[in-house]
């Protein structure tokens, strides 16, 4: 059976990648588990838009086709927009097994860079508006502070509008 990084080993794998590629990025460990954007934003003291999510998709008809979307935490990624930006047809969310085998990281800790295989990547244009963002840090206890330009450079990403606003529901007066 093939061995993959464990949840605790993900941040070490990412740290090694950052060092070997001389990336001016920082792993941050606030001391709490941060498997979701709201938990990460609260732990880091930043707006959810500063936390980027890295979502892996796979082909609906061909499960060997994968694509990564990097988007602001306060937006919903639209699979059809990701597919169009990368010239891939019909994507769906990847299974946890596909996420691990394609990126080297488990769901909840997938960073925007440093994957064990080259994955076609699209970065939402809204991510580029910040000097730095926080993305998955390899596991649920770490976040990666990184410049959006480094994400694009390291992944060879295309940039496109791949999101829609999250529905927040009615507000009371």
**Local structure of 39: helix, strand or coil:** helix
Phi/psi at 57 (5° precision) = -115, 160
Query: What token pair was written down for 170?
Result: 């009615």
Total residue length of the chain: 173
pLDDT in tens, 132-170: 999 999 998 999 999 999 999 999 999 999 999 765 545
- Contact by Cβ (8 Å): 53, 66: no
pLDDT in tens, 100-120: 999 999 998 999 999 999 999
Angle at 140 between CA 83 and CA 126, to 5 degrees: 40
Q: CA 111 to CA 129: how far, in whole Å?
A: 19
Task: Decide if pLDDT at 173 tops 60.
Answer: no
User: How many of the other CB atoms lie within 10 Å of CB of 142?
Assistant: 21
- Contact by Cβ (8 Å): 134, 52: yes
Please, what are the domains in the chain? 10-165 (3.90.960.10)
Of the candidates 85, 53, 58, 84, which has an alpha carbon nearest to the alpha carbon of residue 70? Answer: 53
């Amino acid at each position: 059976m093939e061995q993959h990084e464990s949840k605790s080993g993900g941040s070490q794998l990412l740290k090694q990648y950052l060092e070997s590629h001389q990336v001016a990025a920082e792993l941050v460990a606030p001391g709490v588990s941060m498997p979701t954007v709201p938990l990460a934003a609260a732990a880091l003291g930043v707006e959810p838009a500063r936390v980027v999510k890295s979502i892996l998709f796979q082909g609906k008809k061909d499960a060997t086709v994968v694509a990564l979307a990097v988007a602001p935490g306060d937006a919903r990624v639209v699979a059809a927009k990701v597919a169009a930006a990368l010239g891939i047809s019909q994507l769906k969310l990847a299974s946890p097994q596909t996420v691990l085998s394609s990126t080297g990281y488990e769901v909840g800790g997938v960073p925007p860079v440093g994957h064990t295989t080259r994955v076609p990547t699209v970065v939402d244009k809204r991510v580029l508006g910040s000097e730095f963002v926080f993305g998955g840090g390899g596991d649920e206890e770490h976040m990666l502070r990184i410049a959006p330009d480094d994400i694009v450079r390291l992944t060879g990403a295309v940039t496109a509008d791949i999101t829609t606003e999250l529905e927040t529901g009615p507000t009371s007066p």
